[in-house]
A and B are shown apart, each in its own frame.
Chain A
Amino acid sequence: MSNPILVIAEVRGGKLRQVSLEALQAARIAAGENAEISSVIIGSGITALAGELAGYTGGKVYAVDHPDLASYNAPAYLQAVKGIVLELQPNRVFLGHTAEGRDLAPQIAALIGAGQISDVIAIEPGEQYKRPIYAGKAFEEKRFLSSSGVVTVRPNNIPPASAADSPGEVVDREYAPPGDLRSIVRDVVRKAGGKVDLAEAKIVISGGRGVKSADGFRPLEELADVLGAAVGASRGACDAGYCDYALQIGQTGKVVTPEVYIACGISGAIQHLAGMSQSRVIIAVNKDPEAPIFKVADYGIVGDLFEVVPLLTAEFRKVLA
């Protein structure tokens, strides 16, 4: 593959996102260790982060730093990368498969007439991109037919890039706000502070109909606090109104692949299993010994979650203290 390769890095909560380093690693795998990889970082007050990114890429880092870019806005961010993309005419563009990446990637693909392969979990020899379909009930490998291609990388699947031998050069790029902004962000309400993001969480504690009420999530939240985990839910729990749909894991909802997945009071409907069965270690707590969730669980506890989960919390607190 000929150069150039472009990685579009993402800033969230004042930090460079881990998935951006995973996207960088994906670019290295696809293009070869020696390929020169340029990158773009967009935000407000990102000088230090651009430097940090350059330490990983070893290639040029285009920093687009402007108060209007403090948070994601589709036309503004497209405007920020447009000039760079049109100038470099990259062969490949890599982004994280995040709220921002999912939104920006198809715009870039449309801009340069590129194909796009979304939600990639591995890159196989011959530049074949492996990705889940039917939320992980099956996997396909795809390749590009177009000369240029855009790739979004699912968090937590490709190892993050390690530091480059020598840091790359940071190039500041001017941002010219588009004259006619037909979409403006009026307000952003951040989710409750300190909560771990579901897609990127190393440990996910998930509740189903068995939690019985919104309050029933409290023991799960306590366990999550001890483990630094994110809390998720099954469709059953969301449909019953015990929690917000943002927590839903499954074929509708989010697909998660954490190190440890703890399913509490979840029976294990096919559509839920699709969203979590690629987790490394699965633990199921359920009253019903016949629940299908036990068929995919590495460790199962047949019992009442309201008794078992607080015991687990106490036990983890002891060993992690």
Chain B
Amino acid sequence: MHIYVLLKQTFDTEEKIVIENGAVSDDGVKFVINPYDEYAVEEALQQRDSHGGKVTVLSVGPGRSAEALRQALAMGADEAVLISDERIAADEGAAAAALEAFLSSQPFDLLLGGNFSVDSGGGQVAVRLASRLGIPHAASITSLEISGSGAVVKRDAEGDTETLELSLPALFTAQQGLNEPRYPSLPNIMKAKKKPFQTLTLDDLGLAEAPPLTERVSIALPPERGAGQILKGAPAEQAAKLVELLRTEAKAI
């Protein structure tokens, strides 16, 4: 079974956002595998280990994304492919087009990705890609069982749990709770350095361009939230005061 994992490198979620010259500054920022994609990597490794086959991690992004792919190789993935080209704009449609161009010439049984990325958070690329490739998908899965040419998944839909049956090849996006991602061991970190790693441009994919369908016009930080008031008195008095303030001052209840 050949499994591809769609992976994006993102800011660590504990990073603060600084805007410089109309863009998010990545100066000194710690980068990680998008947390939802990490579940996808782990799931791919577990599926490979029970069914055999190969896991390729695949990313569209700037050169620094190589570090996230190396991390996934150190977790146990077999091969990595980075599609990196300045002509691919920061737009989900463009990313999906580049991924499609690559995957349409590859044999695969399973595509796994994250439910959404914690940076741009559009949650579109994976489903768009499945549509473009003409394969079934299920988003936000919390369990995956493969048997023969089919898969049974549980999917989280706003608290409801749906059980779906799909035929392979198919694409799934991971929700929290799917598994517990492993940490790379030192020997695996060393081994990762020798694993196949391909870097491709649009030319390699036979694409003249991957035009953006949307663009950012402006970016801003949210207004600072001033600290409010700490209520005083015995607990019962604080509770009564809070309820009163919520009704009279905040007019929220």
Contact = CB atoms under 8 A, between A and B. Distances in A.
B222 to A, nearest CB: 6
Interface in B159-191: 159-167, 170, 175-177
Given A139-B221, A142-B217, A185-B164, 12 more contacts: A74-B136, A110-B128, A119-B123, A138-B219, A138-B222, A183-B164, A184-B166, A203-B253, A252-B13, A259-B252, A300-B231, A303-B238
A299 B245 contact: yes
Given A260-B252, A303-B238, A106 B127 contact: yes
Binding site secondary structure of chain B: mixed
A214 interface: no
Contacts of B121: 118-119, 132-135
Interface residues of A, number: 99
B126 to A, nearest CB: 8
Given A72-B157, A146-B93, A185-B162, A115 B13 contact: no
| Top 8 A-B residue pairs of the complex, sorted by shortest distance between their CB atoms | A115-B213, A110-B131, A191-B159, A298-B228, A311-B239, A271-B13, A245-B176, A106-B127
A105 interface: yes
A182 B230 contact: no
B139 A103 contact: yes
A106 B162 contact: no
B208 interface: no
Interface in B105-150: 118-125, 127-128, 131-132, 135-140
B1 interface: no
Contacts of B242: 283, 299, 301, 312, 315
B129 to A, nearest CB: 8
B57 interface: no
Nearest to B132: A110
Contacts of B24: 133-134, 138
13 contacts: A72-B162, A99-B140, A102-B127, A116-B93, A116-B214, A140-B220, A149-B213, A248-B176, A260-B253, A271-B14, A295-B227, A315-B240, A315-B243
Contacts of A110: 96, 127-128, 131-132
A316 B253 contact: yes
Nearest to A75: B136
A73 B127 CA distance: 14
Contacts of B164: 73, 183-186
Interface stretch (A46-54, A204-212, A273-281): A273-281
Given A186-B164, A188-B162, A115 B252 contact: no
Contacts, number: 271
B243 A143 contact: no
Contacts of B91: 115
Interface in A252-309: 252-253, 259-260, 269-271, 274, 277-278, 280-283, 289, 294-304, 307-308
Contacts of B36: 252
A251 interface: yes
Contact of A142 (B136, B216, B250): B216
A89 interface: no
A113 B242 CA distance: 52
A190 B219 contact: no
Contacts of B222: 136-139, 277-278
Interface stretch (B15-23, B79-87, B194-202): B15-23
A140 B136 contact: no
Contact of B14 (A132, A270, A299): A270
A102 B123 contact: yes
A187 B160 contact: no
A277 B127 CA distance: 29
A138 B19 contact: yes
Contacts of A303: 235, 238
B27 interface: no
Nearest to B167: A182
A142 B214 contact: yes
A294 B165 CA distance: 46
B30 interface: no
B235 A197 contact: no
Contacts of B221: 137-139
A187 B219 contact: no
A277 B225 contact: yes
Contacts of A191: 158-161
A79 to B, nearest CB: 13
Contacts of B212: 115, 145
B158 to A, nearest CB: 5
B15 A270 contact: yes
A117 B214 contact: yes
Contacts of B253: 203, 227, 260, 316, 319-320
Contact of B93 (A103, A109, A111, A289): A109
A143 B217 contact: yes
A116 B138 contact: no
Contacts of A113: 213
Contacts of A133: 24, 119-121, 219
A304 B36 CA distance: 34
Interface in A168-206: 182-191, 195, 197-199, 203
Interface in A81-111: 98-100, 102-103, 105-107, 109-111
A283 B246 CA distance: 10
